[in-house]
Amino acid sequence: MKLANEAEEKKQPEQQPEEPKETTAEFIASIASVLVIGLFIITFCMQAFEIPTPSMVGTLLIGDHVFVDRVRLAPKSSWIDRLVPYRDPKRGDIVVFVSPAEPGLFVVKRVIGVPGDRIHLIGGTVYVNGQAQNEPYAIHSEPTQRSAYKENFPNVPPTADDRLYDRWELHMTEFIQGEDLVVPPGNYFGMGDNRDVSYDSRYWGFIPRENVVGRPMFIYWSFQTPGDEYMRTSLGDRVGFFFHILTHFFNETRWSRMLHVVR
């Protein structure tokens, strides 16, 4: 009997040592570390923005949600310049910046001119330093809104009825040389790709370098959104549109634009 019992004991599988369970303190610490990393990325590296207006239609649609790279175009920091590939905005870059006309409002436009560039438009064609620009991204979606001022900037002055006329008088006239507007140091000239409806540097002036937040990288979500939704700021409107998103998420999401790189 003793031998039989010894044989049975040999057949029994060895018990694996139990893995130590994560304590509550360790769980909280791991969650906190994830939150800290996420907060750091959102604060210093990238930020989410929604496109509210049609000024960049052709490239960005109303309701596109984009991640913006806040590092590449950030102001240079001398001690870390060798580690981070900082650079200034270039012609053709799409940039997000704080509006010089409405502080606190974030705007997205395409850089058309950099410091020192001489810019004018003839019949809607952009000339930079005397050269007509090939702009395959530019569209004219509202022919009825085309004007001599927009199409022949800056040689046809705005009228007193034009939006932001006062800013033109205060901030633009001193930089006109001949038929050109000359971009001053530390500033950029930006325009929307949807030229007929874009209020841009033709109206409110230059983009100061310090106002540049970053450049859109890609669209992480796109939802069909009314053009006037950004003006509906009441609590009731916001709650109503939130429930609209919940009930129409699948059929009104523009799935083909997901992860679309912004250029």
Q: Which domains does the chain possess? A: 45-257 (2.10.109.10)
Interval 68-125: pLDDT, tens: 998 888 766 555 555 667 789 999 999 999 999 888 889 999 999 999 999 999 999 9
Band (pLDDT 50/70/90 cuts) for residue 192 is: very high
Cα–Cα distance, 169 to 163 (Å, whole number):
12
pLDDT tens digit string along 162-183?
777 777 777 788 999 999 999 9
Cis peptide before 154 (omega within 30 of 0): yes
Strands of the sheet with 180-182, listed across from one edge: 131-132, 125-128, 118-122, 180-182, 176-177
- 151 Cβ neighbours under 8 A, 6+ residues apart: 121, 122, 123, 124
